Amino acid sequence: MAALVKFAEEKKMTERFRSISLGQGQGPMAQALIEEGQDGGLWVCLQNCHLATSWMPSLEKIFENLDYANTHDQFRLWLTSYPSAKFPVTLLQKGVKMTNEAPTGLQNNLLKSYISDPVKNPEFYEGCPDHEEMFVKLLYGLAFFHACVQERRTFGPLGWNIPYGFNDSDFDISVQQLQMFINENDDPYEALSYLIGECNYGGRVTDDWDRRLIVTILADYLSPTVVRQKNYMFSTAGDCYGLPEKTEYVAYIAHINALPGVHPPEVFGLHTNAGITRDLQNSKQLLNSVLKAYGEVSGGAGGETDKFIMTLCSDMVAKLPKKFDIDVAHTKYPVEYSESMNTVLVQEMERFNKLLGVISSSLINMQRAIQGLVAMSPALEAFAASLLLARIPSNWASVSYPSLKNLPNYMADFLSRIDFLQTWFKDGKPANYWVSGFFFTQAFLTGVKQNFARKYTIPIDKLTFDFEIMKKDRMQEAPPDGAYLYGLFTDGARWDRKKGRLAELLPKVLYDVMPIIWIKPITSAEYNPGPRYVSPVYKTSERRGTLSTTGHSTNYVLPVLLDTDIKPSHWIKRSVALLCQLN
C-alpha cells in the first residue's frame, strides 16, 4: 500500500486518491467510492479483498457493468488481496496483475530494506544525532532480523511451524519505533523488544513455540551487546556477518553488497543439516508440481493398471487383521477406579477398529469396481490414483491418525500399531509404552496422570510431568509411578547417550532415536525446568496442526524437558523437537 501511495504522489494523484479497507458491511461504501471515481477520474483502492469474499460477486458485476463511454479517462481501480480461491476470475483476466513478494536471499533482503523508504531517506537515517552509533547499529540489526525471519520460511517446519507472511510494513513500523525510542530513552531495549517481538512481528505469530522462537531470535539483534561490543557478530559462520566499522549509509550499502550470495543455515540459527531438509522439501514440491501439471492419472495401459491395482488391493487385504472384539476387551479390561489404562486400551481399540473398517471396505470396493460388480465412482477413481502414486487415500486420512508416510510405510506402521495393542490385550499392561503407537496420545497421558492422582488423592488439575531420560532402549519392569515411553526421534539435534545431553547432529544424519523416557507425574508446585531445554513433541515432522473437537492439537503432544550443556536459546533457534514418527 505504501508503494501505491508513493506512486500516486509521483503521478500527482494524491488529492484524487481514495482507499477503503474491505470487511463486513463495507460493500456499499466501496461501491459508492467506485461510482465517485468513475465520474471524477479518481484512483480508487479497495484493500484486503480476501476479507470480503461474499462481496466479490457484486464487485465482479460492478466491473462488468462499467460504461466506458461515461467513465473518466483518469479513473483507475486498484485491488489488493492475499491469494484467494474466491477472487473473481474475470477481474484477474481483464486486470493487470502485480505480486509483491520478499526478495530471496539474505543479501537481497538486506539491500531492499536499505534502498527503500524510510531507511534510504537521509533525514531518517541521521535522525538520532545524540545516539547516532546506537541507532545505526540497531537499524542494521533490525534489518538482519527482518531478513532472517523471512529466510527461515524456506526451511519449512524447521524454520517456523507455520509460515507467516512477514512483510515490509512490519519492518517500516519497527524502524520508526526504533528511532523514536532511542531519541526519547537511553535504555529502549525492553520496550522495543516487546513492541517488535510481541506486537509488530509477534502479532502475526499464532503458534506458542514460534512466539518463543521469534523473541529468542530478536534478542541476538536487538540488545546492548550489539551497540557496545566491537566486532559484534550476528553469526559465527563468517566474518562478513558482523557490523561495518563506519556508520555512514554508503558504508552499510557497501558492506551488504560484499556479502556472499549463498548463506549457510547457521546464519539463521539452524544446523547445517537443515540445508538438506530444505533441498528435500524443494525437490518434493517440484515433483508434486510436475505430477499436477502432467496429470496424476495416466489414460493409457488401462489393463495393466487395473491388474496392478487389483494385486495391490489383494495384498493389503490379506495383511489386514480382524477387528478387535470390543465386548471381550470390556470384559477383560473393565472400567476401574485404580487403573485408567483399561479405558485407554479399549478406546484405542475402538478408534483403530473404525480405521480398519474404512481401509478394508475401500479396498474391497476397489476390487469389485475393477471386476465390474459396482460402478467406478469419482471417489473410487481418486482412491485408485492414490494407490498408483503410493499416497494415503483421502478417505483413510479423514479417519486416521496424522501421518506423512507413503502408502507402503503407512500400512507397515498401521499394522505395527495394531500389533502393539494386540500384545497389550493379550499379555496385559506393558512395562514400556510405544508412545508413537497411540491414536489419541493425550488420552494415554491423561490416564498416567489419573492413576497417580487417584493413588495419592491429589487433584489431577494440579499435576504436571517431569522427565528422566534413561540410558536403555527398553526397561524390564514398569516404574512405581508414571510410565516408560519409547519410539521418539529427535529433530534438529541428537541425544548424546554417554553424556545424557542434547548434542549437535552428526553431518548428514537428520534424526536420532531417543532412549526410554520416564514421565513422572508431579505437582505443579514441584515443577522446576531449571536450565533444561523445553522441547515440544509432535506426531509428525509437519509440526503444525489444527485444534480438534477435544481441545487438543492434532499434531502437538506435550513439552519434554531435556538436559543440555548449552543455553536453551541455542536449541530454540535450532527448532529442536521430538517426533513420534518419521516420514
Q: Give the CATH number for residue 143.
A: 1.10.8.720
pLDDT of residue 210: 92
Whether the link from the prior residue into 260 is cis, omega within 30° of 0, is no
* 535-581: pLDDT as tens digits: 999 999 888 877 666 566 788 899 999 999 999 999 999 999 999 98
Q: Check whether residue 251 and residue 111 sit in a common domain.
A: yes
Task: Give the Cβ contact number of residue 426 at 10 Å.
Answer: 8
In this predicted structure, what is the pLDDT of residue 551? 61
Q: Decide if pLDDT at 367 tops 70.
A: yes
The whole domain housing 582 covers 430-583
- pLDDT at position 25 is 84
The Cα–Cα gap between 398 and 5 comes to: 47
Is 291 contained in some domain? no
Written as one string, the DSSP assignment of 518-533 is EEEEEEGGG---TT-E
The per-residue pLDDT for 89 is 86
pLDDT at 220: 92
Please compute the mean of the pLDDT values over residues 408-427 and round it to a whole number.
92
DSSP E strand boundaries for 22-177:
43-47, 76-79
What's residue 295's pLDDT?
65
Within this chain, do residues 331 and 386 fall inside the same structural domain, yes or no?
Answer: yes
Residue 299 has pLDDT above 50, yes or no: no
Looking at this protein, which amino acid is placed at residue 468?
Answer: E
Instruction: Supply the CATH number for residue 518's domain.
Output: 3.10.490.20
Q: Is the pLDDT of residue 2 over 80?
A: no
Whether the predicted pLDDT of 297 surpasses 60: no
Query: What pLDDT is recorded for position 262?
Result: 87
Q: Are residues 414 and 548 in the same domain?
A: no
Sign of CA dihedral 395, 400, 406, 409: negative
Helical axes 2-10 vs 168-184, angle rounded to 10°: 90
Asked if 127 and 271 sit in the same domain, the reply is yes
Residue 409 inside a domain? The answer is: yes
- pTM score, whole prediction: 0.83
Residue 46, pLDDT > 80, answer yes
Q: Are residue 398 and residue 465 in the same domain, yes or no?
A: no
Predicted confidence (pLDDT) at residue 40 exceeds the cutoff of 80: yes
| Order of strands, sheet of 533-538, starting from the edge strand that comes earlier in the sequence | 511-513, 489-491, 577-579, 533-538, 556-562
Q: Say what the pLDDT of residue 302 is.
A: 56
- Distance (Å, rounded) from C-alpha 156 to C-alpha 538? 15
Percent pLDDT > 90 in the chain is 41
Reported as a single tens digit per residue, the pLDDT across 144-161 is: 999 999 999 999 899 999
Judge if 270 and 346 occupy the same domain: no
* Residue 43 belongs to domain with CATH number: 3.40.50.300
Residues 203 and 188 both lie in one domain:
yes
Q: How many Å separate Cα 435 from the centre of its chain?
A: 23
Percent of the chain with pLDDT over 70: 97
Per-residue pLDDT tens over the stretch 247-270: 899 999 999 999 998 889 999 999
Residue 32, domain member (yes or no)? yes
Is residue 333 within 8 Å of residue 342, measured between CB atoms? yes
Half-sphere exposure of 365 toward its Cβ, with a 13 Å CA cutoff? 17
The structural domain count of the chain equals 4
- C-alpha grid cell, residue 232: 559484534
Which of 254, 263, 540, 538 shows the shortest CA–CA distance to 392?
A: 540
Rounded to whole angstroms, the Cα distance separating 297 from 153 reads 32
Inform me whether the pLDDT recorded for 300 exceeds 60. no
Strands 511-513 and 43-47: unpaired
The per-residue pLDDT for range 312-350, each reduced to its tens digit, is: 898 999 999 898 888 998 888 888 887 888 999 999 999
Question: How, if at all, do strands 43-47 and 17-21 pair?
Answer: parallel
